[in-house]
Chain A
């Protein structure tokens, strides 16, 4: 233990910039990979040593082979596209409706009085509790799924837009009154740009919610082309390799959505940064 550590001055020592030795640098970049690689190695060992049941712990090369075969004949690729299409249609419908209603509530006292309490209660009902009702109203087919996904996207888009608009400073509203802005001008010049950051936050979470809902809808409602359908198949036929592959795809799509949404948000809001 060095004197610095004993005296509890480690913070001070950090303030002096010292180039880390090359070994440290390498180890810092390898750290994030260390745990996944170790886990995968253990997995592979378990699968090959015959300790674990191959049905539960399929060797990694089986998963890779399954992936190559699935994507080769377009089976899983087609399912992935079907899921994405469903997801994006639902997301588009739900978020547009959410933003529109959020703006309306934010603008008008009357609409806020009328719908506000209903929406706050609606927010407390767990999303999946809507599944039975939606499947009875719209059926378990494509329509029901898209409606459910849209509902999932609707909530965050609505709440954030509403908060964004009602967070607009009073002075801006007064300015609009002084300039005798009409409804449309107020919305276009003041309210929407002012609420934009919050609206983007809403859209970002709507995207994530919609993806969760897509998986849920495909698992819970009628089987149709899509990742959820393949997962049902994997569960019933005990194809663990297929399930793991689907998990990878689900996570991958989630990561891509997050990265794209984050980048767009950053880019579109650049003008706000002084």
Chain B
């Protein structure tokens, strides 16, 4: 709030050159205009669709792969080092190669977003599955659970907090990747709107898009927190 006031006051006094920071009311105007002519809405929808598709693909694959790696020590021995090495490469670094192989269409966006979501989901899921308390597993054995019910009734519920950490990080990463990939190669979406505003030197357009990006980030964060507390209702109040 303080900064917003300072911004308004400085703009009112004419202390801020418009090329550096346009007055807040201009930004609000631009924002309203963009909402009215529908361009902002369509960009936002495109961006959200991309994130949803990429994240769904990455998270699903990550959950399956992470559970498998967490359950089997043998598989872990084989796969872990390669996976860790690959995950050290900044996601953006893959972009030129992916652009050469699949082009700059939707495929590129889905792959980049999916991969950036995949990594944290795998890491956290496999950790969560590995950390299932031994006593729970023993109980499963005593009750002679089948493999499947052991997985669905003991391992996965107990790994939920960890899985959620992974999903949350994955979604945040996916959102980051979306903005980056749209800045580099895209003809629609919020990232493109920013790149466009930058080329036309329309700071107010760039700032409006940033506000929307920030708001969506906030909403995603809020929704995940809600979903997490909802899924963990069954947990006793006091931690283990």
User: Interface residues, chain A, CB within 8 Å of chain B?
Assistant: 8, 11, 28, 31-36, 39, 56, 114-115, 117-118, 121-122, 124-133, 135-137, 211-212, 215-216, 219-220, 231-232, 234-235, 238, 240, 243-244, 246-247, 250-251, 254-255, 258
- B180 engages A128 (CB within 8 Å): yes
Q: B123 an interface residue at 8 Å Cβ cutoff?
A: no
- B207 engages A133 (CB within 8 Å): yes
- Other-chain residue from A117, A244, A258 in contact with B97 (beta carbon distance below 8 A): A244
- B90 engages A250 (CB within 8 Å): yes
- A216 engages B206 (CB within 8 Å): no
A233 to chain B, nearest CB (A): 9
Please report the C-alpha to C-alpha distance between residue A11 and residue B218 in the assembled complex, in whole angstroms.
46
Closest 10 CB pairs of A and B: A124-B217, A254-B88, A132-B198, A235-B96, A32-B81, A31-B77, A128-B180, A251-B89, A125-B214, A212-B90
User: Interface residues, chain B, CB within 8 Å of chain A?
Assistant: 1-3, 20, 74, 77-82, 85-86, 88-97, 99-101, 134, 141, 144, 175-176, 178-180, 183-184, 191, 194-195, 197-198, 201, 203, 206-207, 209-210, 213-215, 217-218, 221
- Other-chain residue from B99, B184, B198, B210 in contact with A125 (beta carbon distance below 8 A): B210
- Other-chain residue from A34, A216, A235, A247 in contact with B99 (beta carbon distance below 8 A): A235
- When distances are taken between beta carbons in the complex, the residues of chain A under 8 Å from B209 are 129
Instruction: Give the most central of B82, B97, B99: most A CB within 10 Å.
Output: B97
User: What total of A-B pairs shows CB separation below 8 Å?
Assistant: 133
- When distances are taken between beta carbons in the complex, the residues of chain B under 8 Å from A133 are 198, 203, 206-207, 210
A42 to chain B, nearest CB (A): 13
Given A128-B180, A132-B198, A136-B203: A28 and B89 within 8 A (CB)?
no
Instruction: Give the most central of B74, B82, B90, B180: most A CB within 10 Å.
Output: B90
- Other-chain residue from B86, B92, B214 in contact with A215 (beta carbon distance below 8 A): B92
- When distances are taken between beta carbons in the complex, the residues of chain A under 8 Å from B3 are 118
- B198 engages A220 (CB within 8 Å): no
- A126 engages B175 (CB within 8 Å): yes
- When distances are taken between beta carbons in the complex, the residues of chain A under 8 Å from B215 are 124
- When distances are taken between beta carbons in the complex, the residues of chain B under 8 Å from A243 are 96-97, 100
Which residue in chain B gives the minimum CB-CB distance to A130?
B210
Interface SS majority for chain A:
helix
Please report the C-alpha to C-alpha distance between residue A124 and residue B179 in the assembled complex, in whole angstroms.
13
Which residue in chain A gives the minimum CB-CB distance to B190?
A129
Which residue in chain B gives the minimum CB-CB distance to A219?
B92
Which residue in chain B gives the minimum CB-CB distance to A211?
B90
Given A125-B210, A126-B217: A132 and B195 within 8 A (CB)?
yes
- When distances are taken between beta carbons in the complex, the residues of chain B under 8 Å from A211 are 90
Please report the C-alpha to C-alpha distance between residue A131 and residue B78 in the assembled complex, in whole angstroms.
39
Please report the C-alpha to C-alpha distance between residue A251 and residue B82 in the assembled complex, in whole angstroms.
11
Which residue in chain A gives the minimum CB-CB distance to B86?
A251
Please report the C-alpha to C-alpha distance between residue A115 and residue B93 in the assembled complex, in whole angstroms.
34
